[in-house]
Each structure stands twice: as structure tokens, then as C-alpha cells.
A and B are shown apart, each in its own frame.
Chain A
């Protein structure tokens, strides 16, 4: 079962917390005051705090998780620090589920900024925050309690080591989208999902791979990195464009915990907004002036659509069905990550082996990500996911857990064929999946892909980013949303 073990997941909240621009700026200032050196090439020190408005949100989303998973002691790390290679992080635990205000904090590092002054400025929240940094020649030392899973002594939070790349990520996307149109409504719809509330998984992995490859090739120029960042922007923009179009197709009312675009705007305009995001993304990529990158990235678009078409049909026999499912999953999810990663290698003029390695790493992580996603659709709660659960079944889609379950319960076969259209089908299938080992098997398959991804990452020269790539593979398996 999913566990609350990886620091990365918490790091996610941390980053979400810092997306608040005002907060970022204040934190940045504080850092300058404390004279903690930040430079572009060495990943900067970052503090993250759950401040202002985001506090309430995050706490409310954390609580249901705890109850659902029945984890008695939940750790909530409100702060984390990396100082490039000088990394030390400190976390504090929050033992009481319902008393979110009683956050215990521990400080061990010499440079400590007690955030109470920040809080005083922002709100009267009693949720105190700690920012620590220490120069101790060490990549990582975040120790977390781990209810399950392998013990990882070395932990790197990819979101934190990439803070330089990801900090103004969504602002940059929104700027691009604003520049491209004179129609305010179009701008509004197009930038709706770039609100910083997403996981930003794709750009994060893309930048990790970019930096890992640059380190591997010994080509760490900021110019190259800048270009690779555009590829990361592209990955997120294409992803959002596909979400926008998916919303029109699936008619779902909620996404990421807020009304989806199709609930708010004219569907014809929403469709156009999706096209618009794509066109801006391709203008941006064309400006990198690399024929090969454009070719690699254009593959993503054809794969995405083909994946969608595959989802419309279903296969008769069980063997075919699973292969169909895997191909579909590759095209719909993994291709985007795989090709974006490959593009970062191509633009760095890496040889074919490295490009292939990047591609395969992305493919494996992408497949694992989607497999876990399909699994979470059965076990997670609507509040955690920000969208309704068992959504796939309701859409008539048979994902891995169902396909595995149908080995044990053949009665699922006719339901799959009629796309769970009869009354009671969805509930019955849901029940059978839980009774079978479908979820464990799905997890096992995802795990296998992650192990392969980790193996591939290890082929690159060791660096914080290369380590980060390995952490991401774990993070994907252990995520909760």
C-alpha cells in the first residue's frame, strides 16, 4: 500500500507552498540577508514554508489522507533545505492529525531563520516554520520515518535541487501565453491550469535529466540549460493542452480540486484554447532552432492522439487487451516524458546511446507513473486526488488493476466488453478489483519499471541530479496523488 514515506512527496507540498510568489520573494530576501550564496549553476539553497493561503489548503488535503491510510504518526515536513551540494535538511514532525497548529520544530543547523517573523508579516498563523541551512559537504541527509519500503539513507528532494529551474516555471508559461494573444478570455482559459497547483512532474523529470546529462557530458553551460528549460516548458504545456481537451471529451466537472475548464467556459472556446497552447508551445520550440529536437517533440503529439484513439476501442482477447493497454499507456503518458527527456539529450548533442538512455528512463518512469495513477484511482480518495475516483471505470476504461483482476474473476470480461455500461457494473468491478490481487500486481509491474529506470539512471555519471533521477523513480511508486 502506498505509504507516507518519501521525503519527495512532502517536498511536493513544500514546493506547492512556495509557489506563492510573495512568499518566494520574501524567502529569497531572507536568504540574501543571511548571506547564503545562491548561484544559477549550483543549485541554490531553498527554504520552503507553508505560508499564507496555502497553509489551510495543504492541511485540509493532508488530513483525509491520514485518516484514509490509517497511519498513526504522520510526518509533515514543513521545511526543507538544500544548498546545492551543501545540503542539509531539517524536518519537523507533526504527530497530531487534527491539531495542525501544533507543529513541533527542531533546529540543528547553525543558520536558522525562524519564520515567525514571516508569519507575523503574513498572517497570524501559529504554524511555525523553520528554515535551515548548513554547509556540510553532503548531498543529502533527510531522514524520514518509513513505515514501509526499503530504507533509503540518502535522500534528495528533486523539487528542491531544481528550485532554480522550477521556481518561476508557471509564471514563465503564463507570460508566454499572455504574449501570444490579444484576447483576454483566450489567455484566461489557456493559463487556467498553469496555476502552480499541479505536480509539475514532467518538467521536474525533464530538468533533472537535462542537468544529469549536462553533468555527464561535462557541458554545464547556462545557455544550454536555458534551452533545455524550454523543453521542460513544452512538456508541461502539451500536458496541459491535453488536459484541456480531455476535459471536453470526458465532461468531468472537477480537476485538481477546482472546477474544470469545461464547466466554466464554452466548450468550443475551450477546444480552441487547447489548440492555442499547442501552437504557442510549438512556436517556442521552433525558436530553439534545432531540427532534431522539433522532430523528437512532434512525436509526442502524434502519440498522444493515437493513444486517445486507442482508448476509444477495446480488444477482444485478454492477451491482446493487456498489450493494447500498455501501448495506450505508453502513447498517452510515457511518450511525453520519454521524448522530452530524449530532446534534452539531443539538444545537448549527446550521442545516440545517451539519448536512448534518456528516452528509456522516461518511458519506464512514465509507464510506472500511469500504472500507479490507475491504481490510485481505486484506492485513493477524491479529496486527495482532486478529482473523482473510480473515474476510469465510470468512463468505461479497463485499466491494469481490472485487467489483472479479471484473471481471477472472469465475470469481469463481459463488463469490460460493454465498458461497464450497465447499472451496478462499476460498483461490482470496483469490489472485485479490491478482492483480487489486481492492485498489488499493478504495483509490482510499476515497481519493475521503476527498478529499470533506476538502473538506467545509474549509468550516468554520479551527480546530485543523477541521484535525483533515482529518487524520482521511488517517488513515482510511493506517491499518494
Chain B
């Protein structure tokens, strides 16, 4: 059941079964040559192997939610199936099979790892749309009566997923600068360059189509809002120190953060409500584990989900205040989700072989605050995070307070998301969202 739900946008890949199967069989237990963001990397096996079934079942929560808003994300999959470009991409991707290009892993994770990558973003947008309802002024033609959401909101849900996938795909390129290790490796250079080409074009394709779909919504405020989320995605890849493959490294403990505007703040920072063009001033919070983590992940995820939820309510003609609430809901939900993902590698006592985790995940950042000496090991990753002994870091963090604090962090954002929901009228859609949050807490 989950698979069908989870891969809404990816269902083209499923339908193109032949190619899918190949993809899977040719890349067995791939080694993590180019570690990605944790959100697309964590393994499914850990959650599947849980001893006791959780109280709130994730799969059930999602499939029920899906029923509530009708079919998941319109006919996106069908349109994709009929598109020349995507057929082309599939064809070219096939040539990549057998190479080590991280794009393949991203494709695989998008398809099979739906639960962990929160494939359900479009679903969340639809649910919040339905939970909020729409202004009576919206003409009947615009509505999807049976599902209780507007056609435009459905389109926005599609766009949200397309943009997110486009970011993931663009992020799985390989840096082939001549100075980098990957650029010097002549044996794999051709493959990597070709993979980059396909990945870049696929991402651009998704981005181009999202902007066409957005334009057709005929609501310039929404276009502005969602475009700014694309901007936030790009910005997220520039925050802090990076290794050769642009994997993020944590802020060095003890050094003064670069102060641009005034002093470092302990207040939560967020986007300017009045002007989406103004970027988040992240340099203010570097070095503060919780705030730094929050900002990184707002840029990296929360911004899009939050702004998509906000946009959905904008399309329905809801008040500014409700729109703001929807933004906060999306933001807190994605942060809670990220905290949950960050905690996952530390749930087991030992780190499975060939598994890595993000060095800017919450447990690492918390541990660095607790024991800055851990940075010595992390420093080895300045050229490539592969040079880091992940097992050693895992061991250190498991012994420290990192995991516990991460769980507190997760609860904080779950609670915040729940509180926002209480401002919405009680509907089946609201209940569905609550169930998803509860299920997530138990993962």
C-alpha cells in the first residue's frame, strides 16, 4: 500500500518497470562514494526491523490521508509517462547503470525510500488545503467537489514535489573540478560527466515545468513565494564549510561566528514576512547548535513545505493570518521530520557498515557543543567526508547527550505543528494530519 502512495510523483519510474528493475539489480548495496544529504540516504531496513509495531502506523495514516484528498497528485504521473523528455532521461539513465554516479542512488531513493524522504509533501499540501477550506468567493469551476480541494491547489502540490525532486537531483551531481579527486579520476570521468549532464537537465526540466505550472495558477503572489523557496534551496548549499563534494561540515566550535548584522542571536530567525526577496540571515546563528540546525533545515526543506502550504491557502483566498499559520505548520512539520531522520542512525548501538550520516545532523551538532574535541575527527573531512571515521563519531555521540537532545528537538517541533493544527476547524483532513504527525513521532 505504501509504495503506491509513497511514489506519487515517482510512479513513472515504477511504470517504466523494466528500467527500474535493472536499476535495482545492477547497483547492489552501493558503497557511499559520494554521500548525500541524510534525507535521501538513510536506510529503510532499520525502521522495518523494529521489534514492536508502533502504536500509530505510518502506512495507515498516509493511506487514510490519501483517501481524504482523493487521488494523490492529479495526473502528473500520466503526463510524465507521455513526455518525450522523461522517456529520454530514462533512456540515458540506463547508460549510467553500473557507474557509481550518485544520481542513480537519488533516483533509487526517490522510488523505494518514500517513507524516509517524506515523499508525501504533495499530500501534506493537499491536506492542509482541505483542512483550511476555501473562501466562498472561489467559483465552482475551480473546485474539485469530491476531494474538497481546488484544482489550483492540486497543481501547487505537484509543483512542490517537482521542485523538491529537482533540488535532490541537482544535488546529486558530482563536482568534477580538475582540483577535486573525482575530477582527477580519469577512469570514471566520462561516466560522471555524462551523469552530471543528465542530472542537471532533469533537474532543469522539473524546474522549467514547475515554473510553467506555477504561471498557469495565475496568482503572482504564489509564484513569488514558491520562487523564493527555490532560492532558499540554492542558498542552503552554500551555508558553512564544505568538502570537495560540497558535503556540509559543522561550524568549528569555539570560533567566533562571522558577525554581519549586529551580534549573534539566540532568537529564532525566520524569513521576513513582508518581503520574500530578503534572504535568511543565517550567519547570525552559526555555532549555536539548535539555531544553526534549524536554519540549515529551513533553507533545505522547511522553506518549500511551509511556503507551499502558505501558497495553497493563498490560492483559496484565506486570510493572511491563516496563511501564516499554514507556513508555520509546514515549517515545523518538516523540521520535526528532519529531526526524526537525523536521530535514526543513532538509534542502533553500532553503525552498520558503509553507512554514513550527515555531519550537520542534530546529534552531531549537539555533541560538538557538549564535547568540542570531536571536531578533531570531523576536521579530517575537510577535503572529503569519506576520510572521516564515522564509526568513531557514532560511538562518541551514542555515549553523549546528542540523541536525547535531538528527541527533545523533534518533540518541540511536533508540538508546535500540533498547536498550529488546533487553529484549524476539526475536519477529517485535520485528523489525518494529526495522525501523520503522531505516526512520525513513533518511527
A298 touches B (CB below 8 Å): yes
- Determine the distance from Cα of A280 to Cα of B229 in the docked complex, in whole angstroms: 10
Flag if A248 contacts B85 (CB, 8 Å): no
How many whole Å from B211's CB to the nearest CB in chain A? 5
How many whole Å from A396's CB to the nearest CB in chain B? 12
Check A282/B211 contact, CB under 8 A, given A269-B237, A308-B201: yes
- A248 to chain B: closest residue by CB: B200
Flag if A278 contacts B207 (CB, 8 Å): yes
B276 touches A (CB below 8 Å): yes
Check A273/B234 contact, CB under 8 A, given A262-B177, A282-B223: yes
Flag if A249 contacts B237 (CB, 8 Å): no
Flag if B205 contacts A182 (CB, 8 Å): no
Residues of B close to A289: CB separation below 8 A: 220
Some 18 contacts from A to B, beta carbons below 8 A apart, are A180-B277, A181-B231, A182-B279, A186-B238, A263-B177, A269-B238, A269-B242, A275-B207, A282-B211, A282-B227, A291-B219, A294-B214, A298-B211, A298-B212, A305-B207, A308-B201, A309-B201, A312-B201
How many whole Å from A301's CB to the nearest CB in chain B? 4
Residues of B close to A248: CB separation below 8 A: 173, 196, 200
List A residues at the B interface (Cβ < 8 Å): 179-183, 185-186, 245, 248-249, 251, 262-263, 265-269, 271-273, 275-276, 278-280, 282-283, 285-291, 294-295, 297-299, 301-302, 304-306, 308-309, 312-313
Task: Report the interface size for chain B: residues with CB under 8 A from the other chain.
Answer: 60
Flag if A271 contacts B173 (CB, 8 Å): yes
Flag if A286 contacts B224 (CB, 8 Å): yes
- A185 to chain B: closest residue by CB: B238
Residues of A close to B73: CB separation below 8 A: none
- Determine the distance from Cα of A185 to Cα of B228 in the docked complex, in whole angstroms: 18
Interface centre among A186, A262, A308, A309 (most CB of B within 10 A): A309
Flag if B201 contacts A249 (CB, 8 Å): yes
- Determine the distance from Cα of A285 to Cα of B223 in the docked complex, in whole angstroms: 9
B129 touches A (CB below 8 Å): no
B176 touches A (CB below 8 Å): yes
Flag if A266 contacts B212 (CB, 8 Å): no
Residues of B close to A276: CB separation below 8 A: 230-231, 234-235
B146 touches A (CB below 8 Å): no
Flag if A267 contacts B235 (CB, 8 Å): no
Interface centre among A179, A280, A286, A312 (most CB of B within 10 A): A286
B260 touches A (CB below 8 Å): yes
- A276 to chain B: closest residue by CB: B234
Flag if A266 contacts B211 (CB, 8 Å): no
Flag if B201 contacts A305 (CB, 8 Å): yes
Flag if A283 contacts B208 (CB, 8 Å): no
Flag if A283 contacts B224 (CB, 8 Å): yes
Residues of B close to A262: CB separation below 8 A: 177
B4 touches A (CB below 8 Å): no
Check A312/B227 contact, CB under 8 A, given A181-B279, A185-B238, A273-B234: no
Residues of B close to A282: CB separation below 8 A: 211, 214, 223-224, 227, 230
Flag if A312 contacts B228 (CB, 8 Å): no
- A250 to chain B: closest residue by CB: B197
- Determine the distance from Cα of A245 to Cα of B166 in the docked complex, in whole angstroms: 14
Check A266/B231 contact, CB under 8 A, given A295-B215, A305-B208: no
Flag if A275 contacts B200 (CB, 8 Å): no
Flag if A291 contacts B231 (CB, 8 Å): no
- Determine the distance from Cα of A465 to Cα of B207 in the docked complex, in whole angstroms: 35
Residues of A close to B128: CB separation below 8 A: none
How many whole Å from B121's CB to the nearest CB in chain A? 18
- Determine the distance from Cα of A305 to Cα of B223 in the docked complex, in whole angstroms: 20
Q: Quick one: which of B215, B242, B260 contacts A266, CB cutoff 8 A?
A: B242
- B204 to chain A: closest residue by CB: A305
How many whole Å from B143's CB to the nearest CB in chain A? 20
- Determine the distance from Cα of A234 to Cα of B193 in the docked complex, in whole angstroms: 29
Check A267/B175 contact, CB under 8 A, given A275-B230, A286-B227: yes
B327 touches A (CB below 8 Å): no
Q: Quick one: which of A273, A302, A313 contacts B208, CB cutoff 8 A?
A: A302
Flag if B207 contacts A245 (CB, 8 Å): no
Residues of B close to A267: CB separation below 8 A: 173-177, 196
B392 touches A (CB below 8 Å): no
CB-based closest 3 A-B pairs: A183-B238, A301-B208, A279-B230
Flag if A249 contacts B205 (CB, 8 Å): no
Residues of B close to A283: CB separation below 8 A: 224, 227-228, 231, 276-277
- Determine the distance from Cα of A306 to Cα of B209 in the docked complex, in whole angstroms: 10
How many whole Å from B99's CB to the nearest CB in chain A? 17
Flag if B235 contacts A268 (CB, 8 Å): no
- Determine the distance from Cα of A279 to Cα of B235 in the docked complex, in whole angstroms: 11
Flag if A291 contacts B200 (CB, 8 Å): no
Residues of A close to B201: CB separation below 8 A: 249, 305, 308-309, 312
How many whole Å from B185's CB to the nearest CB in chain A? 14
Listed stretches B112-120, B280-288, B329-337, B428-436; interface member? B280-288
- B88 to chain A: closest residue by CB: A309
How many whole Å from A333's CB to the nearest CB in chain B? 16
- B245 to chain A: closest residue by CB: A268
Flag if B223 contacts A294 (CB, 8 Å): yes
Flag if B215 contacts A306 (CB, 8 Å): no
Flag if B204 contacts A308 (CB, 8 Å): yes
- Determine the distance from Cα of A267 to Cα of B280 in the docked complex, in whole angstroms: 24
Residues of B close to A263: CB separation below 8 A: 177-178
Residues of A close to B281: CB separation below 8 A: 182
- Determine the distance from Cα of A268 to Cα of B221 in the docked complex, in whole angstroms: 29
Residues of A close to B193: CB separation below 8 A: 251
Q: Quick one: which of B234, B282, B283 contacts A272, CB cutoff 8 A?
A: B234
- B213 to chain A: closest residue by CB: A298
B246 touches A (CB below 8 Å): yes
- B242 to chain A: closest residue by CB: A266
Check A294/B220 contact, CB under 8 A, given A183-B239, A266-B244: yes
Question: Mask for B154-182, Cβ within 8 A of A = 1, else 0?
Answer: 00000000000001001101111110100
- A291 to chain B: closest residue by CB: B218
Flag if B205 contacts A309 (CB, 8 Å): yes
Residues of B close to A308: CB separation below 8 A: 201, 204
Residues of B close to A294: CB separation below 8 A: 214-215, 220, 223
- Determine the distance from Cα of A443 to Cα of B221 in the docked complex, in whole angstroms: 45
B216 touches A (CB below 8 Å): yes
Q: Quick one: which of A249, A275, A313 contacts B88, CB cutoff 8 A?
A: A313
B422 touches A (CB below 8 Å): no
Check A298/B215 contact, CB under 8 A, given A179-B277, A249-B196, A312-B88: yes
B184 touches A (CB below 8 Å): no
Flag if A275 contacts B170 (CB, 8 Å): yes
How many whole Å from A308's CB to the nearest CB in chain B? 5
B366 touches A (CB below 8 Å): no
- A289 to chain B: closest residue by CB: B220
How many whole Å from A277's CB to the nearest CB in chain B? 9
- B238 to chain A: closest residue by CB: A183
How many whole Å from A344's CB to the nearest CB in chain B? 17
- Determine the distance from Cα of A309 to Cα of B260 in the docked complex, in whole angstroms: 43
- A190 to chain B: closest residue by CB: B234
B84 touches A (CB below 8 Å): yes
- B197 to chain A: closest residue by CB: A249
- B167 to chain A: closest residue by CB: A275
Residues of A close to B171: CB separation below 8 A: 268
